[in-house]
Chains A and B, each alone.
Chain A
Amino acid sequence: MKIRTLVLLSAAPAWPLAVAAVEQPEFQRLTQPENYVEVGAGWVSDESARFGRYNALYRDGLFAVLGLEYLVRPRFDDPSPLHWHVSARDLGLGNRQVSLRVGQQGRFGLEAGYRERRSRGGDGLVSVYNHRDPANLRLPTDWQPAANSAGMNLQLPVLHEFSLAQRRRETRLAASANPGERWQINAQVRQEDRDGTSLLAGLFGNSGGNPRAAFLPVPVDYRTRLFDLNLAYGDRQRQLRLAYHGSLFSNNEPQLTFANPFSTIGGWATGSGFPDGRGALALAPDNQFHQLSLAGTWQLRPALHLSGQVASGRMTQNEPFLAYTANPLLAQAVVQPLPIDSLDGRIDTTTVHLRLSGRNFTRLNWNLSYRLDDRDNRTELHEWVYVGGDSQVQDTSPASSRRRYNLPQDYRHQRLRLDGQWRLDERTRLGSTIQQSRTERSFSAREQVDETLLEFNARHRAGHRVQLGAQIHWADRDGSAYDGAAAFLANHDPAYTDTLAGQWANLPALRMYHLADRRRQRQAVSANLTPHEHWALGLEAARAVDDYRNSSIGLTESRQALLSTTLTWAPSNQLSAHAFYTWERLASDQAGFSFRGGANRLIDIADPERAWAVDHRDRIDTLGAGLQRYLNDGRIKLQLDWVHARAKAKQQVAAGTSLTAAALPTVSNRLDSVMLRASYRLSEPLSLHFRYWFERFRSDDWAFDGVGPDQLANIILPGETADNYRVHVASVSLRFRFQ
């Protein structure tokens, strides 16, 4: 007996350690970083700008698969754990990114990163301009002008082809430090260079009178620098953060001039058309935004928190103005010069967000919050006499409609909101919200808009297998008297508006939808069911109606309906599957009234048969399924995803007998996408990855189908087409894991 006791005691040192410790290989398996190098190749079957819009796979042919993850992380008990992380993704594609991080947790961190993203808007577009000088578009030397497209040769090779493609390159540097346990400093500098080509129309003449336009390849050469500096303090009761944010935008191509491909037509000044006529567009001006903010949260009592953020910012823009006209002949005729050389535009912003949040009743949670968004436009108001479309002689007569005043609009939005949530028991919760908001605007059809919102919701959990929810939302918006002519009168000279019957531009009955009286109702129900531990079913249904109850012209009503269901099945860690289906209906009704100007104006608006209406009916169905499976003791991983998305948009047009109208075709888009991913672990460090992706997209759109550059008489179009593609992508790569 004594010996047995001695035997047990002699062995004692070994067993506690053997149990308390974990075998090194097992520990390493669980904690080693997922470092790898991936090398491979892929293939794209067809060229498609739409397919490659954001994934950079817009060209057919081969591409490289290159990636790297390398994380050096000391063990958890290292006394000075300096970590490194190098990450490189999609190096073989146009969307590539590289980042390097180094730091010591709790002490400091440094980061440098580079990211490149490409977007593709379309290939094979055409313009009448050659691109030798992208900021000054010229016509071919042998260009034959005409009064409209019928007299022009708008065929290749007279036209020049171009692609809508842009590239964003972002460089990022960031640093953080913890000078004390409660303090943290973060700084970040980002620079994004964006270049490429976009598309805009270059107009000559008046848009409503006798316009002529040609689409232009517009050079994009932007640089945006973003600066962020944060100083944060935190203890158990309070956290504070003082922050500066700066955004400096510059455009290396602030203007675009272009030759007029049309011959001078009636109503244009002499010399406005080809060969001497020129136009100019002011492209995005340089601008800046600087903002200081103070954010904090304070635990006033154990169950009472005050949090908020206050920010003061300033937007400025002072790009030198272009002349009223780029046309030399018309420029000589300008008698009233620009009032200033640049806008010196400035908007001071003040934003406040405060929230008092309480949990100090056993069953009641509540929030009281206030939000202010104030934009004080400090830009000065000036008088301008513009030159219409680089084709009109400046008209400085007292009653000129060309005499305009810029409108530095102020905006102020305030919102007060109270949320409450009452827990009847552990399974049932009732919630309600009341919110009042007020929006004030200057130079607006409605100077003040008020909205009251009420919301009720309930949730009930029946055991562990059923969760039910319901929500009712009601909001009512109205405001001060609607004066649809307010901005028009402020924008024009009274000497002109006095000549206009009624002194309004927009039909007085029009109610702009963001200012109009509106009653909004929304109901939603949801259910999450777990009939079996391997199965989960989610159901959601919602319906919303916006009733613009006092709008007889404009948007009068919009409705949304949604049904959504998801099903997941996960019998084990080795196998899972899911499926989803979403049914959406978007409907809106708008009313209009067609009328002419001049002597016909008052005659037309007295004719009820000039009314028209459009009912919009959009239907979207999205369904998909996925499967994930591990085989052969985890050596093989299979993942399959399928999505079918179908959208149809219908416009049903009705018009009075004084007008003519015909039914529009349905616009439709259909997407089918299948992606299969498989990986096979060849050995402990080496795995083989295979990916196959098929996508098909079909669309019909009457605005583009069969509409070539010469379709319209007055507009030289770029030849955009509705998107249709069928693309296969396959790639295979080897991934080598290492420590």
Chain B
Amino acid sequence: MGRLMRSRFALVALAALSLTLTALANEASVQFPDHIANCTRCHGASEDDPVLAIFATPHAVLADSRTGMADQGCAACHGPSLDHARLPARAGGAEVEIAFHGDRKASTQVRNQACLTCHAGGDMMHWQGSVHDFDGMACVDCHRVHQQQDPALDPLQQAQACTSCHQAQHAEFHRPFAHPVHQGQMLCSDCHNPHGGAGPSDLHAMTLNESCYSCHADKRGPFLWEHQPVREDCTLCHQPHGSVHRDLLAQRTPFLCQQCHMSQFHPSTALSATGLPGASIPSGSQSMLGRDCMNCHAQVHGSNHPSGVGQTR
């Protein structure tokens, strides 16, 4: 009898302790809705499974009905994965239906579709058939969803992320004359839309010159005296990512100019070291030293002066 009483007392005490612990746990822990808690029981904060940071990102804002997380939890992106929930792969069961990384990751198409379910509009509108899509890239090749700061969207990390694949551009940015991408004053995404742009080379703007005018509106014109290649395509003379020659020019002037201008007298002159400074001052060719052709033809981007024929005014 006494043993039975002691057992009942122990039972009541254990139940009370259990309820107390439960109450304490409610205060000292974060409660997830059931459809999310199913996952966070196993996937938490460990080094191998650092998934919880997603709750600090827009993807996990439950009040935003557009996020799949609100209704479907992790299954919105990873698939229902019922077999995985019953017995995970680590215990000999099934893998999650849509894995984004690792040896058992889903196909690129399946993984991207998980993103495109919500992100098919806006700047991602031209993704289908874009260069990166056609190359078989997955969204998660660049983006990190389970991190507070996605490196692809971080101004301080973006250039490094892009040039990890675009090695030629990486080298071009180190050329002596380049747009200040390495200095963090410009981003690749200032000009390019990696999800597919409407313009050439996936530019945001529909033409290359429109893209340049967004920062260099003074070059837009139209001018009274146009310089035809300038009006047509800035890259006919400039290398936007970087150049060996000043002003990001594709070739050193005056030779660049002479590739299109070969008329009588000075435009056709054979320019060489004979035009460099001699023993006396003044000496040297005005087509070679200083700003060479631009010593006189200052308005090479176009002139709006009635006497600006030849881009000299």
Contacts and interface: CB of A to CB of B under 8 A. Distances in A.
Contact of A22 (B30, B50, B167, B200): B30
B148 A711 contact: no
A406 B224 contact: yes
A507 B259 CA distance: 12
B221 A712 contact: no
A431 B133 CA distance: 13
A616 B305 CA distance: 35
A406 B267 CA distance: 22
A371 B201 CA distance: 12
B91 to A, nearest CB: 15
Given A338-B306, A510-B262, A593-B262, A224 B217 contact: yes
Interface in A551-566: 553-555, 562, 564, 566
Interface stretch (A38-46, A266-274, A291-299, A728-736): A291-299
B259 A717 contact: no
B56 to A, nearest CB: 4
B25 A208 contact: no
Given A20-B37, A601-B264, A281 B313 contact: yes
A239 to B, nearest CB: 4
A55 B18 CA distance: 61
Interface string B35-66: 00110110011010010110110101111111
Contacts of A76: 55-56, 60-62
A419 B167 contact: no
B312 A203 contact: yes
Contacts of B199: 353
A660 B183 contact: no
A441 B6 CA distance: 101
A285 to B, nearest CB: 5
B115 interface: no
B259 A18 contact: no
B32 A21 contact: yes
Interface stretch (B79-87, B93-101, B137-145, B279-287): B279-287
B244 A669 contact: yes
Contacts of A202: 298
Interface in A204-249: 207-208, 211, 213, 215, 222, 224, 226, 232-234, 236, 239, 241, 247, 249
A32 B65 CA distance: 23
A483 interface: no
B282 A293 contact: no
A186 to B, nearest CB: 9
B236 to A, nearest CB: 5
Given A77-B33, A592-B262, A387 B271 contact: no
A97 to B, nearest CB: 10
Interface in A532-576: 538, 540, 542, 553-555, 562, 564, 566, 573
Interface string A94-106: 0100000000111
Contact of B289 (A54, A249, A707): A707
B294 to A, nearest CB: 6
Contacts of B157: none
A135 interface: no
A281 B180 contact: no
A651 B228 contact: no
Interface stretch (A58-66, A156-164, A642-650): A642-650
B176 A200 contact: no
A79 B65 CA distance: 11
B307 interface: yes
A143 interface: no
B238 interface: no
Given A203-B312, A307-B125, A307-B128, A514 B229 contact: yes
B228 A409 contact: yes
Contact of B185 (A54, A353, A357, A616): A54
A195 interface: no
B171 interface: yes
B297 interface: yes
Given A321-B304, A506-B262, A514-B232, A149 B282 contact: yes
A78 B298 contact: no
Contacts of B1: none
A311 to B, nearest CB: 5
Which 5 interchain pairs have the tightest Cβ spacing?
A357-B129, A106-B64, A21-B29, A284-B218, A239-B121
Interface of B: 7, 10-11, 14-15, 18-19, 21-22, 25-26, 28-33, 37-38, 40-41, 44-45, 47, 50, 52-53, 55-56, 58, 60-67, 103, 109, 117, 120-122, 125-126, 128-129, 133-134, 136, 148-149, 164, 167-168, 170-171, 174-176, 180, 183, 185, 198-200, 206-207, 210, 213-214, 217-226, 228-229, 231-233, 236, 244-245, 251-252, 255, 258-274, 276-277, 281-284, 286, 288-292, 294-299, 303-310, 312-313
Given A389-B313, A590-B258, 5 more contacts: A18-B25, A284-B219, A540-B167, A562-B168, A592-B262
6 contacts: A104-B63, A293-B206, A297-B125, A506-B263, A711-B289, A717-B290
